[in-house]
Structure 1
Amino acid sequence: MHFLNMFFFDIYPYIAGSVFLIGSWLRYDYGQYTWRAASSQMLDRKGMNLASNLFHIGILGIFAGHFLGMLTPHWMYEAFLPVDVKQKMAMIAGGACGVLTLVGGILLLKRRLFSPRVRATTTGADILILSLLVIQCALGLLTIPFLRPAYGRE
């Protein structure tokens, strides 16, 4: 059990991050013109600004929180920030960013599905990716209430 815990929480995040960065770099170098998303902004702007801004601000906050949370060693903050306070801050800030992302993602998905002009240019992959992001965000938000009892156990 110790090996699985160490693998999934100490080793695997670095493997996943490396595959993401190296894969993105290679895709950009060797398939530069395949790296695009079909824009639907000109087809229907109604609600686009709100949904897109909520989604992207939330995603950037989630990315920054996970990045800082994974790469900041305990010794850097334990002298002035107790672990339970750090966890509470992460849950509140992460929850807020997660809600922004979820609401924005749902609005973008609704627009993709129910706006006739946007729907005409939408591919199955667009809907699949956006649906997976919304589901992943919802699952991440569902973990917050279950983490709450962990305060003070370390």
Structure 2
Amino acid sequence: MTSWLDNLLFGYYPYICLAVFFIGSLLRFDRDQYTWKSDSSQLLRRGQLRLGSNLFHIGVLFLFFGHFFGMLTPHFVYEHFIGAGAKQLVAMVTGGIAGLLGFIGLTLLLHRRLTEPRIRATSKTSDIVIAVLLWVQLLLGLATIPLSAQHLDGSMMLLLAEWAQRIVTFRAGAPELLADAGWVFKAHMFLGMT
């Protein structure tokens, strides 16, 4: 059962997510390009907005580019400069700091959105659901740090990176690489794709 579920979630689901992302983005741009906005609540109350927004965006942008380059850069490109264990340690420290910044920022923004009556009244359910999903995603990402600290040789990081590289290059065998990955890694990956 686990093998079948791993194949579904980490073999087929990434391609479904990528197809929805690219095709959906093109269709939305073509049909409803003026709906690509967020309703600003800045005029309703500025408290917590500047700090929360800045912390969240700094953290998330660093995490996005860190994951993008960290997962998709083949090991042979950087192995002459930095070993897998050292790269993992750098990723844990810098990613942990960025994740914590993003988590604190999003917590402030969620608190603001849920406790301020005027902002709550103008918030869509989808705004709150997306913010909560991002909050859980950041929490799961932070939860991977203690697991990564249990094997500082970089082996799990290399397996996860190899999985991502096989997905984007359409090579077979990607789900099998995750057989020994913990559920926190898998949940973080699934929610990230979603």
TM-fit CA distance, 1:47: 1.5
Label 1:17 to 1:150 Cα distance change in 2 as closer, same or farther (>3 A).
Answer: farther
* Structure 2 partner of 1:101: 102
State how far apart, in whole Å, the 1-side matches of 2:115 and 2:30 are: 36
Label 1:17 to 1:88 Cα distance change in 2 as closer, same or farther (>3 A).
Answer: farther
8 Å CA contact retained: 2:107, 2:135 = yes
Structure 1 alignment gaps of length 5 or more? none
Label 1:119 to 1:8 Cα distance change in 2 as closer, same or farther (>3 A).
Answer: closer
Give the aligned length: 154
Match runs of 1:50-129 below 5 Å: 50-129=51-130
12-21 vs 45-54, which moves further: 12-21
State how far apart, in whole Å, the 1-side matches of 2:79 and 2:120 are: 51
**Matched-pair identity in %:** 50
State how far apart, in whole Å, the 1-side matches of 2:147 and 2:9 are: 19
* Structure 1 partner of 2:147: 146
Q: Larger RCO: Structure 1 or Structure 2 (Cα < 8 Å, ≥ 6 residues apart)?
A: 2
RMSD: 2.5
TM-fit CA distance, 1:8: 6.6
TM-fit CA distance, 1:80: 1.4
1:48 paired to 2:19: no
State how far apart, in whole Å, the 1-side matches of 2:76 and 2:11 are: 17
TM-fit CA distance, 1:143: 1.0
State how far apart, in whole Å, the 2-side matches of 1:132 and 1:153 are: 28
State how far apart, in whole Å, the 2-side matches of 1:111 and 1:141 are: 23
State how far apart, in whole Å, the 1-side matches of 2:80 and 2:13 are: 28
SS of the equivalent of 2:150 reads helix
Match runs of 1:17-36 below 5 Å: 17=18, 19-36=20-37
TM-score calculated relative to the size of structure 1: 0.86
Q: Which runs of 4+ in 1 moved over 3 A?
A: 1-19
Question: One-letter code of the match for 2:128?
Answer: I
State how far apart, in whole Å, the 1-side matches of 2:22 and 2:93 are: 28
Label 1:32 to 1:13 Cα distance change in 2 as closer, same or farther (>3 A).
Answer: same
